[in-house]
Amino acid sequence: MHVVLIALDGVRASDVFEGADPRWLDTERSPQEVVPNLSMLAREGITLGRPGQSPGLSASGPNFVSLPGYTELLSGRFSECHSNDCSTRPEDTLIDWMLKDGTRASKVGVIASWENLERALSPRPTAAFISTGRHGGNAHLVADTELGSQTLAALVDGAEAPSGPGHHDYRPDSYTIELALAYLAEQEPRFMFVGLGDTDEHAHAGDYEAYLGALQRADAFVGRVMQLRNAWEAKGEPTAIFVTTDHGRADDFRSHGKDFPESSAVWLIAAGARINAGSREQLGNYALRDVAPTIAAICELPQAQGMSAGAPIAGVLLHSPTASGSWLASR
């Protein structure tokens, strides 16, 4: 079983499900034109947070910024971190659950453009393939020593990459995407999280066209992941793809955060093995912390525990693993 979880930083549901915003762009562009691959994935599987439809999906906040969003997404709990530079890390995340389940460390990957995304992972040192920003994570070491992969080692060495459109140690999405595709193709991981961030950087700059361009490049990446998924499924390896975001945006497009409650609105598209086909209208509102438990259920991993833990989203799952017995029997 393979699961690929992709987060597109600060991408609004409206751009994904309704097409380009007529307030900021003269020419009309449908969702199929802006995000053809995400549109296809949405038709194949299920969606949450589609504008005006139920079920919804929210970041729990209370500050709707990136680090709390990624922490909630990966830990399956409320984030104790409420800003982008806190050092409180979650106790454990989906990455630890995968490793605890006996997954070989090199088969669990985290590849992100934003260097701070490493802080959304538990402090436990792991040999998982982690590359955040131009220099964060231990992927270089893993590529060199454990995997002996010159290709991955060269791609991880993002020091040559320019930092724009971000700042500090930010790695542009084009470099992150190249590394993620090489890692996926070479290692065929059980789980990979990919965090792309150019969209949010361009949005903060108020450049809607550049934001759409970054969204289109992210969509093309999703298309490549879908091709790999098809190849894995063809050889009998079930694969699921999840695409989501860490926070929404304010009505003014540029901002997000605690002063803009509307920026809590996020979205999810999930498709593939063990995932329902065709969205079913149902009541309810889910939270980002429900995504990791949903992936854990698909992979038959132990769930996050505790009062603040999320729960598997029943509408996403094809069957409940407890009700139907083995997943493998259903697939």
Binding site for Zn ion (CB under 5 A): 200
Half-sphere exposure at residue 252, Cβ-oriented, CA atoms within 13 angstroms: 10
Query: 253-276 as b/e, with b when 16 or more CB fall inside 10 Å?
Result: bebbbeebeebbbbbbbbbbbbbb
Closest by CA to 193, choosing from 331, 308, 302, 93, is 93
47/58 with CB nearer Zn ion: 58
CB of 58 to Zn ion, least distance (A): 17
Closer to Zn ion by CB, 215 or 270: give it: 215
Q: Least distance from C-beta 162 to Zn ion, angstroms?
A: 19
Q: Which is nearer to Zn ion, 200 or 290 (CB)?
A: 200
Strand order in the sheet with 56-58: 265-266, 56-58, 285-287
CB of 205 to Zn ion, least distance (A): 11
198 alpha-carbon distance from chain centroid: 14
Closest separation between CB of residue 10 and Zn ion, Å?
5
Which CB atom, from 105 or from 250, has the smaller least distance to Zn ion? 250
18 φ/ψ angles, rounded to the nearest 5 degrees = -120, -5
Task: Tell me how far, at minimum, the Cβ of 319 lies from Zn ion, in Å.
Answer: 37
Helices first, then strands: H and E counts in the chain: 13, 10
- Quote the least distance from Cβ 200 to Zn ion, whole Å: 4
**For Zn ion, which is the closer residue by CB, 17 or 70?**
70
- Minimum Å gap between C-beta 4 and Zn ion is 23
Closest CB to Zn ion: residue number? 200
* Apex 273 CA angle, 270 and 275, nearest 5: 45
Burial class (CB in 10 A: 0-12, 13-18, 19+), 174: middle
Distance from CA of residue 132 to its chain's centroid? 14
Nearer to Zn ion, 118 or 200 (CB): 200
When the beta carbons of 97 and 114 are compared against Zn ion, the nearer one is: 114
